[in-house]
A and B are shown apart, each in its own frame.
Chain A
Amino acid sequence: MATAMHAAKARLDVAASNLANVSTAGFRRSIARAALRGAGLVTTSVPDVAPGPLRRTGRSFDLAVAGEGAFFVRDRTGRAVAERSASFERDRRGRLVDESGRALLGERGPVVAGADATIDARGVVTVAGYDVATIVVRPGTTLQSGFLEGANVDAVHEMVEVLEAQRAFETAQKTLSAIDDERQKDVDDVGRVKQ
């Protein structure tokens, strides 16, 4: 029963963290998973990879993918990483880099663009009517410039989680108390000699 209380507590931890990040762009909620193992319930959290809603920012270098697909950024080790939403800024050399310094990949290496560049749905980067680069995307990807993917947290769902965790905790506590009472009885009554 003590592990059931731990499990309920873990569920609340996960829901609280998800709710706290409801305004964090690109946040992926965690799901609490409880499993019965040996000594009792063990809870782990796994990320939920479902896409979040697109939120308008109005910044032309905020990129998000509408529906299925991805674009690619190059991290410091030179590896291309698929992304679905990122906020890019121009660095000293005019390359578009995200908040962790990863460069947006175009068909001819990192995308270099002027401050007033625009990006269309197919990933073509345009400066004053001239195409300057094309962003590498998975086939069939529709890009949305001026949008970021919001957290995939549903407040209603998380609130239900909070309530359920609270009730589960209470149930476990009541059961624990009942077991405790029974033991108390055993200790007090068993072996007592009736007169």
Chain B
Amino acid sequence: MNRALYAAATGMAAQQQNLDVVADNLANADVIGFKNAQATFAPIGGNALLGTVETGVRPIFQQGKLEKSGGPFDVAIDGAGFFEIERAGEHAYTRAGAFARAADGTLRNADGWSLRGIVIPAGARSVSVASDGRVSVALDGLGARAAGRIQLAAFDAPERLRPLGSAIFGATHGSGRPREIAAGGDRQPKIQFGTLEKSNVSVIESMMAILAAQRAYEADSKCVQAADEMLRIVNNLHRS
């Protein structure tokens, strides 16, 4: 009974963690550049009838839908790769491309991370970004001028990136070092200007996952009850 009791308890814990991850996905379904996460599980000790254990939570870097937006500096990546962003000397990677021009000319997102390598000079009237990431600005009376090029970063194992915020990731030992890739080439990702990448969370699939997790939790709790009932019977075997 005790083995069943503990195995069922690990199942309940697993479904709880599963539910946490799915709920987080749903909560972020409208966040630009958010990536659906998935909890993975493995049987304890191969399969020694000891239950299950969570082995990690991995983001799924499937392309989100690209949607036209109204922001003046909105960019999105069509293909693999990440924007390189920095804040106070720290580097991070994201696919959320909603930026705004800060007072010092850098392009920053809502959390204050700035897009690496781009400075928009003061007095710029209009900005455009080509599919290869080259940024050009139109200045008063001076015509068009280059303002840097957006570099994309790629990783050997992007699933191993560490989430730093809802759509921001940091490099880890497992993910490997970032490799710079140039956008716009024949076999390369392209940058879309005036566009944002929506989250890749499917609300319907998440709802189904919640239902399944709830039922699995219930089934595990029934096992706990059954094991408990058997223990009660055992305790009543000896009648004095």
Contacting residues, chain B, for A114 (C-beta < 8 A): 80
Q: Which residue of B lies closest to A181 (CB)?
A: B239
| Those of A23-59 within 8 Å (CB) of chain B | 23-25, 27-28, 30, 45, 47, 56-59
When the two chains form their complex, are residues A12 and B226 in contact, meaning their CB atoms are under 8 A apart? yes
Contact of B8 (CB < 8 Å), options: A19, A89, A99, A166 = A19
What is the total of A-B residue contacts with beta carbons within 8 Å?
Answer: 142
When the two chains form their complex, are residues B237 and A12 in contact, meaning their CB atoms are under 8 A apart? no
**0/1 string, B200-214, CB within 8 A of A gives 1:** 100001000000110
Contacting residues, chain B, for A162 (C-beta < 8 A): 222-223, 226
**What's the nearest-Cβ distance from chain B to residue A69, in Å?**
23
Contacting residues, chain A, for B103 (C-beta < 8 A): none
A13 at the interface (CB under 8 A from B): yes
When the two chains form their complex, are residues B11 and A21 in contact, meaning their CB atoms are under 8 A apart? yes
When the two chains form their complex, are residues A20 and B220 in contact, meaning their CB atoms are under 8 A apart? yes
B10 at the interface (CB under 8 A from A): yes
A131 at the interface (CB under 8 A from B): no
**What's the nearest-Cβ distance from chain B to residue A135, in Å?**
19
B215 at the interface (CB under 8 A from A): yes
From A71-79, A101-109, A168-176, give the one contacting chain B.
A168-176
Contact of A19 (CB < 8 Å), options: B11, B62, B213, B239 = B11
| Those of B1-41 within 8 Å (CB) of chain A | 1, 3-5, 7-8, 10-11, 14-15, 18, 36, 38-41
When the two chains form their complex, are residues A25 and B216 in contact, meaning their CB atoms are under 8 A apart? no
A128 at the interface (CB under 8 A from B): yes
A63 at the interface (CB under 8 A from B): no
A81 at the interface (CB under 8 A from B): no
When the two chains form their complex, are residues B160 and A19 in contact, meaning their CB atoms are under 8 A apart? no
When the two chains form their complex, are residues A12 and B1 in contact, meaning their CB atoms are under 8 A apart? yes
Once bound together, how far apart are the Cα atoms of A18 and B55, in whole Å? 17
- What is the size, in residues, of chain A's interface with B at 8 Å between Cβ atoms? 51
Contacting residues, chain B, for A92 (C-beta < 8 A): 156, 176
When the two chains form their complex, are residues A173 and B40 in contact, meaning their CB atoms are under 8 A apart? no
When the two chains form their complex, are residues A23 and B200 in contact, meaning their CB atoms are under 8 A apart? no
Contacting residues, chain A, for B36 (C-beta < 8 A): 58
When the two chains form their complex, are residues A177 and B237 in contact, meaning their CB atoms are under 8 A apart? yes
Give 8 nearest A-B pairs by CB, closest first: A20-B11, A128-B187, A16-B4, A17-B49, A116-B80, A20-B51, A16-B223, A24-B41
What are 5 A-B pairs at a CB distance below 8 A?
Answer: A20-B220, A23-B41, A30-B49, A57-B60, A127-B187
B interface residues (Cβ-Cβ under 8 A, vs A): 1, 3-5, 7-8, 10-11, 14-15, 18, 36, 38-43, 47, 49-52, 55, 60-62, 79-80, 154-160, 176, 186-187, 189, 200, 205, 212-213, 215-216, 219-220, 222-223, 226-227, 229-230, 233, 237, 239
Given contacts A56-B205, A130-B187, A177-B237, 7 further A-B contacts (CB under 8 A): A13-B3, A17-B3, A21-B11, A60-B62, A89-B157, A129-B187, A159-B222
